[in-house]
Amino acid sequence: MAAIGGRKPNVEITPASGTGSSFRGYLTNARFNGADSNTATFAQPKDFTFQGSGLQDDGGDTDAFFTFVDEHVGETVTIVYMPQGNETPSTAQPHWTATAQVQEFDGDFLGGDASTDPTAKNTFDYSWPCDARPTKITSETP
């Protein structure tokens, strides 16, 4: 069994209009979440979301997750979550993928609390609805 650790995961997100970007260095929290749906169907009794927290950026870093969200609000994207951080999925170290819609910032997205820690960074939260339950990938070809 390969337990998932907190330092290995990687997330690659690809918009319909472009190439994928890795956001390992910008995300402080990333997860797929399944919650009971307000309107459950027999086909999909849960709503799935891709949610977490990312580092704030003022737009100077064009590769930042913050910038990606800002530039792709409303777009449908493909998310590949790599729990073990491995580039190639396998049976022992699978990846998970889902399609979601990038949502507008909700709540605090710039600024935060004062800190005496010179390495402290401000973060923002995100939650994007997925089209369906995330799918496990165990090889490079579907």
Query: pLDDT tens, 47-86?
Result: 899 999 999 988 788 899 999 999 999 999 999 999 999 9
pLDDT reading at 112 higher than 70: yes
- pLDDT of 33 above 70: yes
As a whole number of angstroms, the distance between CA 69 and CA 103 comes to 8
Is the pLDDT confidence value at 121 over 70? yes
H/E run at residue 35: strand 27-36
Tokens at 76, concatenated:
């449908």
CA-based angle 66:72:78, to the nearest 5?
100
Question: What are 141's two structure tokens?
Answer: 């070809």
Cα–Cα nearest to 6, from 32, 24, 18:
24
- Residue 8's pLDDT is 77
| Residues 74/101, Cβ–Cβ less than 8 Å | yes
Q: Say what the pLDDT of residue 2 is.
A: 59
β 76-82/10-15 pair status = antiparallel
What is the chain's mean pLDDT, rounded?
87
> What confidence category does residue 5 fall into, taking pLDDT thresholds of 50, 70 and 90?
low
